[in-house]
Structure 1
Amino acid sequence: MSPVLIDLGEVPRGESLAPAVPAEAPPVPSRVLLAILSMILVVGLGGAVQPDRPAPPAIVPAAQGDVLRVVGDRLYVIGRQTSPGVRVVRSLSLPDARLLSWHLVALTGEILDVAAAGDMLLLSVLNERTSRFGTIALRATDPDPVWRLPVLVEGVSPADRLALVREEDDTGFWWRGLDLATGEVRWSLRQPGDDVMSPSTHGGAYPDWLYQLTTDRRLLAWDTRTGRLSATRNIPERGPETLSLWPAGDMALIGARSDGTTGYDATEGLRQRWHSGVNLSWYRNPSPCGDLICAFLPQRGIMVIDPRTGRERWSSDRWNYAERVGGYLVTGLPGTAFPEHFVLDPATGDVLGEAGRWESGGPGPEPDTAYVRRVVSGEDRVWYGVLDMRRMRIRVSGVADRVAGDCHFAAGALICRRLDASVGVWRLD
Structure 2
Amino acid sequence: MPRRPARPWREFVLLLAVLSGLAGGGAPGMPLDPAVVLRGAGLSEVGGEDSAIYVLSRDSLASYRMPGGARRWSVQLAAGAQLLAVDEARVVLGFDDGTNRAAAVLTGFDAATGAPAWRRTGYVPAVYGCACGDGVVVAEHYAPGGDRPATPDLAGIDVRTGAVRWSLGTPPGGRREVVLEPGEPVRIAILDAGGTLRLYRAGTAELVSTVGLQHPGPVEGLAISGDRLLVYRYGLRNIVAGAVFDLATGRRLWQRTAEPYGERLWWCARSLCERANEGPILVLDPDTGRERWRLDGWADMGAITDRYLLATPSPPDGRHLVLDAATGRVVRRIDGWEPAGAPAGTSLLVAGRGAAGITLVARLDVETGAVTALGQAGRWSGPPECLTTGALLVCRLEQDRIPVWRLEAA
Q: TM-score range by the shorter chain?
A: 0.7 to 0.9
Name the structure 2 match of 1:134. 105
Query: 1:330–1:360: 8 Å Cα contact kept in structure 2?
Result: no
Deviation at 1:199, TM superposition (A): 1.7
* Residue number among 161, 179, 190 corresponding to 1:212 in the alignment: 190
Deviation at 1:110, TM superposition (A): 0.7
Aligned partner letter, 2:175: V
The structure whose residues are more often strand, as a share, is: 1
- TM (norm. structure 2) is 0.72
* Residue number among 177, 185, 188 corresponding to 2:164 in the alignment: 185
> Measured at CA, do residues 60 and 221 of structure 1 come closer, stay the same or move farther in structure 2, by a change above 3 Å?
same
Name the structure 1 match of 2:82. 112
User: Deviation per CA, 1:20-57, whole angstroms, max 9, x where unpaired?
Assistant: xxxxxxxxxxxxxxxx96xx449xxxx96674273421
Q: How many residues align?
A: 372
> Measured at CA, do residues 77 and 161 of structure 1 come closer, stay the same or move farther in structure 2, by a change above 3 Å?
closer
Name the structure 2 match of 1:263. 245
In structure 1, distance between residues paired with 2:362 and 2:201: 42
Are 1:350 and 2:332 counterparts? no
User: Deviation per CA, 1:387-429, whole angstroms, max 9, x where unpaired?
Assistant: 343444545566422345531332152524269x332224453
Name the structure 2 match of 1:21. none
Name the structure 2 match of 1:24. none
In structure 1, distance between residues paired with 2:251 and 2:72: 48
> Measured at CA, do residues 49 and 202 of structure 1 come closer, stay the same or move farther in structure 2, by a change above 3 Å?
closer
In structure 1, distance between residues paired with 2:220 and 2:99: 35
Deviation at 1:316, TM superposition (A): 2.9
Are 1:335 and 2:305 counterparts? no
> Measured at CA, do residues 213 and 372 of structure 1 come closer, stay the same or move farther in structure 2, by a change above 3 Å?
same
In structure 2, distance between residues paired with 1:392 and 1:355: 9
Query: 1:177–1:185: 8 Å Cα contact kept in structure 2?
Result: yes
In structure 1, distance between residues paired with 2:153 and 2:322: 42
Structure 1: which 5+ runs fail to align? 8-35, 82-86
> Measured at CA, do residues 283 and 124 of structure 1 come closer, stay the same or move farther in structure 2, by a change above 3 Å?
farther
Name the structure 1 match of 2:117. 146
Aligned partner letter, 1:207: V
* Residue number among 321, 325, 337 corresponding to 2:301 in the alignment: 321
Aligned partner letter, 2:169: R
Instruction: Look up the SS of the partner of 1:146 in the other structure.
Output: strand
> Measured at CA, do residues 299 and 57 of structure 1 come closer, stay the same or move farther in structure 2, by a change above 3 Å?
farther
Are 1:276 and 2:248 counterparts? no
Name the structure 1 match of 2:44. 67
Deviation at 1:140, TM superposition (A): 0.9
> Measured at CA, do residues 92 and 387 of structure 1 come closer, stay the same or move farther in structure 2, by a change above 3 Å?
same
Name the structure 2 match of 1:22. none
Deviation at 1:258, TM superposition (A): 7.0
> Measured at CA, do residues 134 and 247 of structure 1 come closer, stay the same or move farther in structure 2, by a change above 3 Å?
farther
Aligned partner letter, 2:93: L
Query: 2:351–2:383: 8 Å Cα contact kept in structure 1?
Result: no
Name the structure 2 match of 1:26. none
Are 1:121 and 2:91 counterparts? yes
In structure 1, distance between residues paired with 2:48 and 2:227: 25
Name the structure 1 match of 2:142. 168
Deviation at 1:190, TM superposition (A): 2.3
Query: 1:120–1:140: 8 Å Cα contact kept in structure 2?
Result: yes
- TM (norm. structure 1) is 0.69
Structure 2: which 5+ runs fail to align? 8-14, 234-238
In structure 2, distance between residues paired with 1:125 and 1:116: 16
Aligned partner letter, 1:374: G
**Within 5 A, what are the aligned runs for 1:14-413?**
40-41=17-18, 51-52=24-25, 54-70=31-47, 75-81=53-59, 87-90=60-63, 96=67, 98=69, 102-107=73-78, 109-127=79-97, 130-131=100-101, 133-149=104-120, 150-154=122-126, 156=131, 161-169=135-143, 170-171=146-147, 172=149, 173-192=152-171, 194-201=173-180, 206-208=185-187, 210-227=188-205, 229-237=207-215, 241-242=218-219, 244-248=221-225, 250-255=227-232, 260-265=242-247, 268=248, 271-272=249-250, 274-278=252-256, 282=262, 286-287=266-267, 289=269, 291-293=270-272, 302-307=281-286, 311-317=290-296, 318-325=298-305, 327-336=307-316, 338-362=317-341, 368-376=346-354, 379-392=356-369, 394=371, 399-411=376-388, 413=393
In structure 2, distance between residues paired with 1:71 and 1:204: 20
In structure 2, distance between residues paired with 1:346 and 1:72: 34
Instruction: Look up the SS of the partner of 1:272 in the other structure.
Output: coil
In structure 2, distance between residues paired with 1:298 and 1:414: 38
Instruction: Look up the SS of the partner of 1:406 in the other structure.
Output: coil
Aligned partner letter, 2:136: L
Aligned partner letter, 1:330: L
Give the % identical residues: 21
Aligned partner letter, 1:409: C
Deviation at 1:111, TM superposition (A): 1.0
Query: 1:199–1:247: 8 Å Cα contact kept in structure 2?
Result: no
